[in-house]
């Protein structure tokens, strides 16, 4: 049954009215303790716009910040909640039948400054998958595994582990011996993985992602494509790390878990498996280029961050030294790395091997 929203009173103040820079400054200067978390829920929502507006008003009243997507198929949320309001937040969520008892993935590493604004958007889907076949049943998912079962099954030589995240996520961290497709989007990865493993349908296929939401669809898609032994990591990397620590299990994840907030990553193991995109030194810290007209996502070591003023190139480093009005005018015609490449394409201007460097414009 589709979820309907009963409007009890007119909803107001449903969007942010403060500019981005001021919101960032407020968060940096805040001493309020906050809890960073994520959740997702597949459910039928009859009126996503009405639900979005009601959720915005509720979260605003509780001081929640974050990025939330609402669609007819459910809700996908990454957010932070003031510690003092956490119990009120959980109680308010449990007032909705579809959220009752839902798992909340608490961040592994967070100082509460992961988000600086409340943004809730209506989308066609909470996870863009490119699937338009009415015969596809997203509810026919694979078998969910807890951390202990995951560790046991990954030790089986007939098991294939697949990372269902984008390449810039798996570059800084992934499970041992996992297949890490060189793809930029989830919708690109689904058919790619199915084709890649088309001759291995008798194998155990284990899939994982950050918090579980992508694997809900991925495991269902693999079953739709004829794979029978499909499994997914319950709660994703975030819940796996929690269970490993709580139960004293072996940690089979190496490196960092990429996250989609201001932190851009949380450490799961001490291993650094990636390299600086400018000098090739071991590094796994993602940055967005400090030139806001570029803003490309890349990995940078501390030395290069100092050398290039946290920019992706000498061009961008020189550009941010110009007066703001000059920057604004030149940006109309200048082309930066971020103008040419998206998150999924920054590998295009990296060299391989020990001479790994980012090209200068």
- Catalytic residue numbers read 209
Q: Kindly report the CA angle at 126 between 66 and 171, in degrees rounded to 5?
A: 75
The runs of H, that is alpha helices, within the chain are 20-29, 48-61, 86-94, 147-154, 167-170, 186-196, 213-224, 236-247, 302-307, 314-319, 324-330, 337-340
Q: What are phi and psi of 16, to 5 degrees?
A: -70, 140
* Among 73, 206, 199, 178, residue whose Cα is nearest residue 129: 73
What span, in angstroms and rounded, lies between the C-alpha atoms of 104 and 114? 16
- Exposure class string for 257-286: b at 16+ Cβ within 10 A, else e: bbbebbbbbbbbeeebebbbbbbbeebbbb
Beta strand pairing call for 253-257 and 159-163: unpaired
Is 356 in a helix, a strand, or coil?
Answer: coil
CA 85, chain centre distance (Å)? 24
User: How far are the Cα atoms of 21, 177, 315, 322 from residue 326, in angstroms, in the given order?
Assistant: 20, 49, 15, 6
- Using an 8 Å Cβ cutoff, are 203 and 158 in contact? yes
The runs of H, that is alpha helices, within 103-160 are 147-154
- Exposure class string for 298-326: b at 16+ Cβ within 10 A, else e: bbbbeebbeebebbbbebbbebbeeeeee
């Amino acid at each position: 049954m589709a979820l309907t929203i009963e409007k009890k009173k007119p909803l107001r103040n449903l969007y942010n009215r403060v500019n981005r820079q001021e919101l960032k400054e407020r968060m940096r200067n805040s001493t309020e303790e906050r809890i960073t978390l994520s959740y997702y829920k597949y459910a039928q929502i009859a009126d996503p716009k009405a639900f979005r507006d009601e959720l915005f008003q509720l979260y605003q009243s509780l001081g929640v910040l974050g990025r939330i997507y609402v669609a007819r198929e459910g809700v996908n949320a990454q957010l932070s909640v003031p510690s003092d309001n956490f119990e009120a937040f959980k109680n308010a969520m449990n007032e909705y039948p579809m959220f009752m008892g839902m798992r909340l993935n608490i961040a592994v590493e967070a100082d509460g400054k992961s988000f600086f604004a409340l943004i809730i958007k209506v989308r066609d889907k909470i996870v863009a998958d490119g699937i338009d076949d009415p015969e596809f049943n997203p509810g026919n998912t694979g078998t969910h595994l807890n951390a202990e079962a995951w560790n046991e099954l990954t030790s089986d030589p007939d098991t294939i582990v697949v990372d269902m995240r984008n390449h810039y996520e798996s570059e800084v961290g992934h499970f041992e011996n996992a297949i890490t497709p060189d793809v930029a989007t989830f919708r690109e990865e689904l058919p790619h993985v199915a084709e890649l493993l088309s001759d291995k349908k008798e194998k155990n296929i284990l899939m994982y992602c950050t918090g579980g939401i992508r694997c809900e669809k991925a495991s269902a898609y693999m079953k739709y494509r004829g794979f029978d032994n499909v499994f997914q990591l319950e709660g994703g990397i975030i819940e796996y790390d929690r269970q490993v620590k709580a139960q004293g299990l072996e940690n089979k994840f190496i490196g960092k878990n990429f996250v989609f907030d201001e932190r851009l990553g949380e450490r799961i193991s001490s291993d650094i498996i990636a390299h600086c995109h400018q000098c090739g030194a071991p590094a796994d810290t993602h940055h967005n280029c400090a030139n806001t007209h570029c803003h490309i996502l890349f990995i940078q070591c501390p030395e290069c961050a100092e050398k290039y003023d946290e920019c992706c190139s000498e061009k961008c480093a020189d550009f941010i030294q110009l007066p703001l009005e000059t920057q604004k005018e030149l940006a109309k015609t200048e082309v930066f790395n971020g103008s040419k490449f998206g998150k999924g394409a920054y590998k295009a201007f990296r060299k391989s091997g020990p001479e790994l460097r980012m090209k200068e414009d």
